[in-house]
Amino acid sequence: MELARVIGRVVCDVKYPTLKGVRLLVVQPVDHDQAPVGEPIIAADALQAGPGDLVSWVTGREAALTLPNTFAPVDCGIVEIVDHAWGDRRFL
């Protein structure tokens, strides 16, 4: 499971037709101790995550499956909003 913290939104003037109405969020990948790792990325969000939320994300072909009833050319998608993450790595 890949974890990230939502740190912002992306506003687009022009989108691919199947991405209309899909929110794009800026997420900062974090490790299991929630420390930032690497550079922020853009993720498609069908779950209505908000700033500060801890989310789980996927990349590749599976990212397109995170959007309901449509196929969209995305490379990163949010699959869940994490309610609680244990500090002990054995539970993640």
CATH number of residue 83's parent domain = 2.40.50.220
- The label of the residue with tokens 């299991």 reads 32
Total domain count, the chain = 1
pLDDT given for residue 68 in this prediction: 80
- Continuous H helices in 1-92: 61-64
Query: Where in the sequence is the domain holding 82, given as residue range(s)?
Result: 2-91
Per-residue pLDDT band for 86 (boundaries 50, 70, 90) equals low
Cβ pair 4, 43 in contact under 8 A: yes
**pLDDT tens-digit map of 16-51:** 888 888 899 999 999 978 899 999 999 999 899 999
Tokens describing residue 42: 């853009």
Question: Quick one: average pLDDT of 81-85?
Answer: 85
Could you read off the pLDDT of 60-73 as tens digits, one per residue?
A: 888 888 888 778 88
